[in-house]
Amino acid sequence: MSALSRDQWVAEIARKTGKPASDVEALLKRLGIEPKLTHAIPKRLKLRSLAFTGEKTGDYETKIIDFARSGLEPGMHAFVSDANLKGKTSLLTMIRWALTGTRSLPPDMSGWFRTLKLGFSLDNDEYEVRLLDAELGSGLLVKQMRGREFVVAEFADTAGFVAAMDSFFLSELGLEPLEVIAERDGKGVDQRHGWNWLFGVMWISPDPKAVFGGDDTSHGKATRAMQMYLGLPWITTRAKLMEAQKRARIDTEQEARQAKQVSDAARTRLNELQKKREAIVAEADGRPSAGKLRADMAVATAEYASYADKLRRNVSVVEELEAEHRHAEAAVAAATRELNAFRENLAAGYVFRRLNPISCPSCDEVYTAEVRETRHGNHDCVVCGRTERLEPDSTAGVEERLVADVTSAKEGAGKLQKRLAEARRKSTGFEATRDAQARVLEQLEKQLDELRSAPDGRLELVKLDAQIEELTLMAGTERQAETTEADLLEAAIKATKTMYEEEQDTVLSKVSELAVTYAQAFGLTDLRGMRLKGNTHMELHMRGGKKNFGDSTPGERMRLKLAATLAMIQVAEQTGIGRHPGVLLIDSVGNNEVVKQDVAKMVVGLSSLSDSLPTVQIFVAGVKSDAILDHVPCGNVVENREDGYLW
């Protein structure tokens, strides 16, 4: 037994962590953990009677169910039949149903049962659990004392039944439920395993997976079951601390994941804001200042005005030249017309002068040949009679002059055309330059407008910097796990273990030694030694070598489990420390490879326990055999009826 008190335990935790004792106390209070400092003193459960009624459905010779056994005493009891599936296991299941409220009968028995009663005692207290409506699960748990019955619990349905039996037995036997934290989707889910789970230590099945408890070994159930029934102090305290530690780890990891998600989101947003900031700075660097823009605009305006002025003056020149050119062209046309008219008239005159007049244009009198001849002879005009004077050819030189005029006019027009073309070319150039400057001005004005209307880069930067600072904090600091509480819990777990470790090792050593004896008595003659550890791992030293519990055959495992359980019960009885109630329900002991001799030895071994364990009650269900009938008191044997069924 640990000599340390609670205060000393707290002080030890504080010392290991360097934290004040007040922190330790605060943690324990917050977690609701209070150490169990005392040893558990075993109570003895004894089944007194079993009765149930109902009616079978289906093709049965005897349908009415009316089973009753009373006066059950400590020792070995057997439910046997000639064949299987005759109700042997069901009787064990009925007992479990009555004690835990959990019904696990085959589905074909649904609706069969009307009532179920189980009388039992816990040490000197007598109780009876009565299922008045077996199908509904309603009934009573009564305590019988001083000639009266006192209702301990009343339940209206199966859930109420389970809760009532759970509360009763955990309290009476000093047991505690197993509160574990299951991790699902990154979150911690509370799970409670109560009396129905702890009852598994009392049930020995043909093919057990664990040394203690049922086949569900998750969350260290086998170890916790063993620790519970060993009854050593501090063990459950340590178990609670470990669960608290697990919960803290899950919560911390969940918080860390959430914090990381926030951190990641913050980091992403931070990158976006930093890029935005860089863009603003780059744009500000690349953007010309308002002063520069205005200076450029002044230059462009001056250029524009200069070329606009040149264009305007040149337009006047062009207009003048165009007018002169038009005149020149008109002069060319006039000279050409003059020349054409001269030439045509000259040619036409030549034609018409050669024509002989036919008649007088006034009176139409035809000119006779005589008239014609006379006037020609006198060089007179045939028409008017006037003398034709031979005048010098007035056309001499005219054509040359007119040709020269045309040439001269064309030359003048040509020169003007060139000057005009040059002036127009200049106009085009001045106009292009002026328009280019106009576009430059327009662009500069647009830039200036954009500069004026753009958000103040400095203000934007200040805002961004503030956001970046905040997000940097969020992104950079991934939440650190709460170390203080973890350290305290770790220290508490270690400190608590030291409280019971030595004692536990001593107890387990005794249990191992005794379990070997029992296992050998059950037919495992090659077993030389066993080491049952605190985590329920069982090392076996066989004649041929070492192996573990899990390496054994189903039959071996059943006998090893039975041996270990009985050893634990006996060591508890010897030391006065333990919580096993002392009832074992063993199912189908003869249904595996165990040979008849081994069955006999196991039953002999079991029956011999009545000497050393006078208060232990063992119920065995199996096929009828000489081994069972020879070693179980006949008053404790329930055999099948003629129809083959036990009930």
Partner 1 sequence: MANTEYRDAVRILFLLVEGSVDNGDLSTRSAYPRRFEGETRLQALDFWIRYPDYLADELVAQYEETGDLSLLDAARAIFDDNEPSERSIPMLRRYFGAYEPLDTVLTMLGVAGLTKAITIEHPTASPQHFLLSEAAFDLRDRILREHPVFGWYAARAKLVLRVSRGMGGGPLKKRQHERKEYHDARVDDLIPTIAEAVRAKLEKLRA
- What ranges make up the beta strands (E) of 560-616? 583-587
Q: Which CB, 5 or 340, lies closer to partner 1?
A: 340
Is 457 one of the binding residues for partner 1 (CB under 8 A)? no
In one-letter notation, the amino acid at residue 519 is: A
Q: Which CB, 340 or 553, lies closer to partner 1?
A: 340
Is 340 one of the binding residues for partner 1 (CB under 8 A)? yes
Min separation Cβ 278 and partner 1, Å: 55
List 145's β-bridge partners, or say none.
148
HEC assignment per residue over 525-576: CCEEEEEECCCCCEEEEECCCEEEHHHCCHHHHHHHHHHHHHHHHHHHHHHC
* DSSP secondary structure letter of residue 367: P
For partner 1, the binding residue among 309, 344, 469, 502 (CB under 8 A) is 344
Residue 152 CA to residue 138 CA, distance in Å, equals 14
Residue 230 CA to residue 235 CA, distance in Å, equals 9
How many C-alpha atoms does 481 have within 13 Å on its Cβ side?
14
Number of H helices, E strands in the chain: 15, 16
Tell me which residues in 52-71 interact with partner 1 (CB under 8 A): none
Is 356 one of the binding residues for partner 1 (CB under 8 A)? yes
Residue 7 CA to residue 11 CA, distance in Å, equals 6
Is 330 one of the binding residues for partner 1 (CB under 8 A)? yes
Phi, psi (rounded to 5 degrees) for 416: -65, -35
Number of residues that bind partner 1 (CB under 8 A): 28
Min separation Cβ 308 and partner 1, Å: 29
Is 352 one of the binding residues for partner 1 (CB under 8 A)? yes
Q: Give the SS3 label for residue 205.
A: coil
Query: Among 152-160, 343-351, 577-585, 596-604, which window interacts with partner 1 (CB under 8 A)?
Result: 343-351
User: How far does Cα 474 stand from its chain's mean position?
Assistant: 21
Residue 82 CA to residue 622 CA, distance in Å, equals 9
Min separation Cβ 368 and partner 1, Å: 14
Q: What is the DSSP string of 12-81?
A: HHHHHHT--HHHHHHHHHHHT-----SPPPPP-EEEEEEEEEEE--SS-S--EEEEEE----SEEEEEEE
Query: Among 167-175, 183-191, 234-242, 357-365, which window interacts with partner 1 (CB under 8 A)?
Result: 357-365
| 532 closest CA partner among 541, 521, 524, 523 | 541
Query: Among 44-52, 63-71, 193-201, 358-366, which window interacts with partner 1 (CB under 8 A)?
Result: 358-366
For partner 1, the binding residue among 332, 471, 583, 628 (CB under 8 A) is 332
For partner 1, the binding residue among 337, 376, 415, 641 (CB under 8 A) is 337
Is 368 one of the binding residues for partner 1 (CB under 8 A)? no
Tell me which residues in 4-23 interact with partner 1 (CB under 8 A): none
Tell me which residues in 300-329 interact with partner 1 (CB under 8 A): 329
| 566 closest CA partner among 214, 216, 212, 170 | 212
Min separation Cβ 432 and partner 1, Å: 24
| 174 closest CA partner among 248, 138, 123 | 123
| 248 closest CA partner among 535, 20, 490, 498 | 490
CB 269 within 8 A of CB 617: no
The 392-431 site mask, x for binding partner 1 (CB under 8 A), equals ------x---------------------------------
Residue 286 CA to residue 283 CA, distance in Å, equals 5
Is 355 one of the binding residues for partner 1 (CB under 8 A)? yes
Query: Among 104-112, 337-345, 461-469, 560-568, which window interacts with partner 1 (CB under 8 A)?
Result: 337-345
Residue 456 CA to residue 461 CA, distance in Å, equals 9
For partner 1, the binding residue among 8, 22, 289, 359 (CB under 8 A) is 359
Q: Which CB, 282 or 333, lies closer to partner 1?
A: 333
Q: Which helix (H) or strand (E) holds 129?
A: strand 125-133
Q: Which CB, 367 or 451, lies closer to partner 1?
A: 367
Min separation Cβ 355 and partner 1, Å: 4
Q: What is the DSSP string of 157-187?
A: SHHHHHHHHHHHHHHHHT---EEEEEEETTE
Residue 79 CA to residue 619 CA, distance in Å, equals 7
Is 384 one of the binding residues for partner 1 (CB under 8 A)? no
Is 351 one of the binding residues for partner 1 (CB under 8 A)? yes
Q: Which CB, 179 or 367, lies closer to partner 1?
A: 367
Is 347 one of the binding residues for partner 1 (CB under 8 A)? yes
Min separation Cβ 414 and partner 1, Å: 15
Query: Among 334-342, 413-421, 553-561, 602-610, which window interacts with partner 1 (CB under 8 A)?
Result: 334-342
For partner 1, the binding residue among 186, 361, 385, 414 (CB under 8 A) is 361
For partner 1, the binding residue among 357, 412, 457, 534 (CB under 8 A) is 357
| 520 closest CA partner among 591, 627, 608 | 608
For partner 1, the binding residue among 246, 343, 372, 426 (CB under 8 A) is 343
Q: Which CB, 357 or 412, lies closer to partner 1?
A: 357
CB 616 within 8 A of CB 609: yes
Is 348 one of the binding residues for partner 1 (CB under 8 A)? yes
Is 333 one of the binding residues for partner 1 (CB under 8 A)? yes
| 616 closest CA partner among 202, 231, 96 | 202
Residue 139 CA to residue 116 CA, distance in Å, equals 9
Q: Which CB, 311 or 409, lies closer to partner 1?
A: 409
Tell me which residues in 217-236 interact with partner 1 (CB under 8 A): none
Query: Among 64-72, 147-155, 161-169, 350-358, which window interacts with partner 1 (CB under 8 A)?
Result: 350-358
> Any idea how long the chain is?
647
Is 342 one of the binding residues for partner 1 (CB under 8 A)? yes
For partner 1, the binding residue among 106, 111, 349, 576 (CB under 8 A) is 349
Footprint on this chain of partner 1 (rule: CB under 8 A): 329-330, 332-333, 336-338, 340-345, 347-352, 355-361, 383, 398
